[in-house]
Chain A
Amino acid sequence: MRTDLKVNGSPVQADVEPRVLLVDLLRDVVGLTGTKVACDTAQCGSCVVHVNGMSQKSCAILAVAADGADVTTIEGIDEPGELTGLQTALRDLHGTQCGFCTPGMIMSLLELLRRNPTPNEPEIRTWLTGNLCRCTGYHSVVRAVLRVAQEAASAKEGAK
């Protein structure tokens, strides 16, 4: 079946079997391997991308069901050479160890920060329950998001 979508702003047209998952289309057809696959049951969040601006597990969407969608992957969130504030905070506060769950976490957290630019610790932890990490115990990730929130709060304060 044919599926036409936009990935990171560029049109993608593919002829895929109806059963092909969006994550496989992104990784194997489009060649964007930043999105990871770590479980078979939509538990781990390693494959989270944005579909029409919403964070979604791309292992739980068929590629053909994404027909017409605007998809953003980890490769599409920053200008080349320039990191988002969240990426910078994760890098600097070591919110990533092996790095495998990191792209999915970032895609998920970007939506949290869009909805609520100044989340508190419980809000961050609750939001993160859709993403599994075995290295960090999540603490350094939470610290990184808190820093982004603090920066957002300061910027807001400064703008007053």
Chain B
Amino acid sequence: MTQETATQRVFGAAIPPRENAGFVRGEAVFTADYTPPGTIHMELLRSEHGHAKIVSIDTTTAAAMPGVRAVITGADIAEKLLPLPCIWIPGGVESHFPPHPYGVPGAGFVLAQERVRFIGESVAAVVADTPYQALDAVNAIVVEYEPLPAVVDPRAALAEGAPQLHEAVKGNLNAYWTCGDKDGTDKAIEAAEVVVELDIVNQRTINNPMEPRAAVGEYDPATDCYTLHATSQSPHNHRFLLAALVLGIPFNKLRLVATNIGGSFGTKGYLYPDMPLVLYLAKELGVPVKWVDTRHGLMRSTVQGRDHTQKVVVAGTRDGKITALRCTSWSNLGAYPSTIGPGVATALMGRSISGPYEIPHAFAEVYAVFTNVVPLGAQRGSGRAEATYLMERLADRYADAIGMDRAEVRLRNMVPPEKLPYDNGLGWTYDSGDYPTALRLALQHAGYDDVDRLKAEARERGKLLGVGISSYVAICGVGPSTRMSKEGMLGGTWESGNVRVHPSGEIAVTIGSQSTGQSHETVFAQIVADVLQVSMDVIRVYRSDTEKAPYGQGTYGSRSYSVGGPALYLAAQEILLKMRTAAAAFMGVDQSVVEYRDGVFSVPGDPDKTKTFADTAMALWYGWNLPPGMQPTLDETVFFDPPDFNYPFGSHIAFVEIDATTGEVDVTKYVAVDDSGPIGNPLVVQGQVEGSIVHGLGQVLMEAARFDDEGHLLTDDLRSYAIPRATDAPFFDLDRTYVPSPHNPMGVKGAGETATVPAAAAVSNAICDAIGVRDIPMPITPEKIWRALRDGADT
């Protein structure tokens, strides 16, 4: 479909992102490229055990090695650096956490104290003149461990007699969390004509942004102030948490700067031990301290995604009406709660399970459990992807059970557009949408009516063709702060935008969020250029530096554009209103007769009375003869806290062809119809949709973090952990609808991760369709397909 807003000016235009020029030249500075004069280098020693007692650490050899400036262990900093905090806990239920001296939920020590609980846990830090020297010294530290029994499976961790991770967490249970209508759901399932069940392992995956994390700490003794350059997608929030809860220093004395960030997908929204360590060591040693992670380190220490083990049930009538849905899920939080992991694992998944369907009775329960693996966090589409996977797998199984077409079952059960806003009974109120239209459009693109012929044709070529549909609703735009507090968020979730007009008429735009590859310097300039009707060329976008940018909560959950965008839009409107008032006064007319177009204030019918945008800005800079009560200059900041979330939606259809001899699977066609409301820059959003789908294909076809029973990560580099390559997906057939959200003045919704949400289920459904089996657990590798074909039965 075509976007009606495309006739507007800059909003909606497919403008190539201006930051791309620096990227294609290799000039863009990332954290690892920042090396202030005198910098020395930190390396971390990480645990080699999933669970062990630290008997002793001998650092004497390491400390005496060339270039080494310091070697520190947990004992050295026990009194100096507090544990990391967790700020998104399961909402509304009793929950248990490792301790933190300030009474907030704890998220583990900066360096291990007496015990290690997962394979990548930081045990010691070395600082040396060069990275190579630091690495040598790390390898010379001798740690004597006494291995302890480990547990890596969440259900096993809940069993009696299981190894216990935290004294304060009895039975390893962080929380038992529920939503929806338990009794009604149980009764409806019992009474149903048709019941289908599945056991699903939504496997643990590793985000793997291309840029490993990095941190550079600096300390200025003259002012007693710290500066942290870090790969942080939430600079303000991380500054606040580090100063108050980890370093114990005044907020005023910590500045956090994020330069360009090389992708995140969730990874860089968390606090990690290196962040306080480089600051602490920079002060101790009097020089800047830099740490750059490796891929190996990133895979063992940064938050991982998904990891729900589920028993799911859908019930319905024989004629195609779904009557109930139940999900019991064991979420593997890993050894410690990450900064926001427990909230991701509960609310984002549980409240989303019914997707776009009107299901009278639904219930989700989640056991959030600690085990001896790497902490869990968000990953592109987190929670919603796991929810969509289970619902869309069940939708196919239900359709098969009653002998109805899979598209038809979906269309019959979708919430009709006239029922929106719609309370899904699980805690979300869908704000807007037209789910059947998006699915019908996708079916049309797919040539769905012709699938039988295509299957027959494929068989003649020796291929098994399968088609899979996946429809979704993906809550985005976190969010309304008060509402989020009820979901267990220990903080605000508003966003900000500042517009400052220089005396020259040029414009500085400063945002509180932080790009990790979302082209913020372009898309936010477009919003302001559109409101103020000026050229993009006069607008510069600033971000990333807590000393300069207005407070913001950062980039996650597809919120920068749908929460920060409206803040900026409103700030630009305030600027325009003030300029109009001032221009009217300068022209000696009432502002009701003033028109503004393309950078000129004018009075229709009076050609002598005009005032340009730049002239008005200059006059406000001088501040002479301003209307009574008006302050000089143009500088407006708006903090936007939306009334509720926004709910992008859509339908994807995957075609796969399977080689019956080898089990090899090719995604041969992929249709995606998404709705993220009005689109500010279609080129940017297209890139995000394409990348998101490929991320989802990665999970369903190849990605899996594997731990052995002792908690060793067996997939800790890019040889043993596959991520999609350029040959793994064809060009996609993309389209969209444009239903605006009522929850912000632009009508915009999240887009950065939404297309990941349905992708795995679309492909999984297509593969099961092709080979005629009930289910194959992800990742669906050629070997599993080959075995399923050989065994011929349900796997």
Contacts and interface: CB of A to CB of B under 8 A. Distances in A.
Contacts of A133: 210, 691
Contacts of A124: 726
B29 interface: yes
Interface in A39-89: 39-41, 43-44, 46, 73-75, 78, 83, 87-88
A44 B33 CA distance: 18
Contacts of A33: 26, 29-30, 32-33
Contacts of B694: 137-139
Contact of B24 (A38, A87, A131, A138): A87
Interface centre among B19, B30, B691, B732 (most CB of A within 10 A): B691
A109 B94 CA distance: 55
B16 A94 contact: yes
Contacts of B17: 94
A137 B724 contact: yes
Interface string A121-152: 11011101101111111111110000000000
Contacts of A44: 210, 295, 718
A87 B210 contact: no
B295 A102 contact: no
Interface residues of B, number: 60
Contacts of B16: 91-94
A31 to B, nearest CB: 9
B731 A35 contact: no
A132 B723 contact: yes
A39 B295 contact: yes
A158 interface: no
B208 to A, nearest CB: 6
B695 interface: yes
A90 B296 CA distance: 30
Contacts of B719: 41, 43
Interface in B13-59: 16-17, 19-30, 32-33, 35
B580 to A, nearest CB: 35
A103 interface: yes
A98 B209 CA distance: 9
Nearest to B261: A98
A2 interface: no
A97 B719 CA distance: 24
A83 B726 contact: no
B262 A99 contact: yes
Given A92-B16, A96-B20, A34 B691 contact: no
Interface centre among B29, B263, B732 (most CB of A within 10 A): B263
Contacts of A88: 24
Interface string A11-37: 000000101100010011000011111
Interface stretch (B237-245, B320-328, B516-524, B545-553): B516-524
Nearest to B30: A100
B492 to A, nearest CB: 27
A5 to B, nearest CB: 19
A132 B718 contact: yes
A7 interface: no
B294 interface: yes
A44 B30 CA distance: 17
A20 B263 CA distance: 27
Contacts of A40: 294-296, 717
Interface in B684-705: 684, 686-688, 690-695
B647 interface: no
B726 A125 contact: yes
A147 B462 CA distance: 34
A31 B27 CA distance: 12
B379 to A, nearest CB: 11
Contact of A98 (B211, B684, B717): B211
Nearest to A76: B26
A17 B130 CA distance: 12
Contact of B25 (A20, A34, A98, A137): A34
Q: Tell me the dominant secondary structure on chain A's binding face.
A: loop
Nearest to B517: A98
A83 B724 CA distance: 29
Contacts of A91: 16, 20-21, 23-24
Nearest to B35: A28
A85 B21 CA distance: 13
Given A99-B19, A100-B30, A135-B691, A78 B726 contact: no
Contacts of A74: 25-26
A125 B728 CA distance: 9
A41 B718 contact: yes
A132 B693 CA distance: 16
B649 interface: no
B727 interface: yes
Given A40-B294, A91-B24, A134 B683 contact: no
Given A134-B208, A134-B723, A102 B24 contact: yes
Interface in B571-585: none
Contact of A38 (B33, B212, B726): B212
A35 B19 CA distance: 18
B24 A134 contact: no
A135 B208 CA distance: 10
A150 B694 CA distance: 26
B29 to A, nearest CB: 7
B263 A134 contact: yes
B712 to A, nearest CB: 18
A128 B725 CA distance: 8
B729 interface: yes
29 contacts: A34-B26, A37-B32, A37-B212, A37-B292, A38-B210, A38-B211, A39-B718, A73-B26, A74-B25, A87-B25, A91-B16, A92-B16, A93-B16, A98-B211, A100-B30, A100-B210, A100-B211, A100-B263, A106-B26, A134-B210, A134-B695, A136-B687, A137-B690, A137-B695, A137-B729, A138-B729, A140-B686, A140-B687, A142-B726
Interface of B: 16-17, 19-30, 32-33, 35, 131-132, 207-212, 260-263, 265, 292, 294-296, 516-519, 683-684, 686-688, 690-695, 717-719, 723-727, 729, 731-732
Given A44-B210, A83-B25, A125-B726, 7 more contacts: A78-B25, A98-B211, A126-B726, A134-B209, A134-B210, A137-B729, A139-B731
